[in-house]
């Protein structure tokens, strides 16, 4: 039996991205990207439950997504779940993901 809890197909990446922390927007590499969230490769992080703006670049477009931190790995980075985003934005984002095979 699998312990896999992810619902959506993931794209391994890496993709360009960013996240907004206490000192402003930080560039980062985004991996394990899906319509539900992603992993942010970063030395700094936020606590689980923190709400942060996340930027993901796909097909030359930056998607600014509201996110919630759901997991922290103090060495590699942290995982976020996308939440409370505009439905039209999510529709465009999902279309871009699907063009990459997600």
pLDDT digits over 20-62, tens only?
A: 877 778 999 999 999 999 999 988 778 999 999 999 999 899 9
Please, are residues 66 and 88 in contact by the beta-carbon 8 Å criterion?
Answer: no
Q: Is residue 7 part of a domain?
A: no
Q: How many domains does the chain have?
A: 1
Confidence grade of residue 6 (pLDDT, cut at 50, 70, 90): low
Structure tokens at 51: 């709400």
The pLDDT value recorded for residue 102 is 64
Alpha-carbon span 70 to 32, nearest angstrom: 14
Assess if residue 53 is contained within a domain.
Answer: yes
**Residue 56 maps to which CATH number?**
2.40.10.220
84, part of any domain: yes
Domain-located, residue 2: no
pTM for this entry: 0.86
Asked if the structure places residue 28 within a domain, the reply is yes
**Residue 8 maps to a domain:** no
Domain that holds residue 50: 15-97
What's the pLDDT at 10? 78
């Amino acid at each position: 039996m699998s312990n896999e809890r992810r619902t959506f197909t993931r794209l391994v990446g890496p993709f360009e991205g960013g996240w907004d922390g206490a000192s402003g927007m930080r560039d980062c590499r985004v991996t394990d990207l899906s319509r539900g969230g992603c992993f942010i490769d970063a030395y700094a992080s936020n606590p689980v439950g923190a709400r942060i703006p996340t930027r993901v670049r796909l097909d030359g477009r930056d998607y600014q997504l509201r996110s919630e931190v759901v997991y922290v790995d103090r060495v590699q980075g942290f995982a976020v779940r996308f939440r409370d985003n505009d439905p039209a934005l999510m529709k465009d984002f999902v279309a871009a993901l699907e063009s990459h095979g997600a």
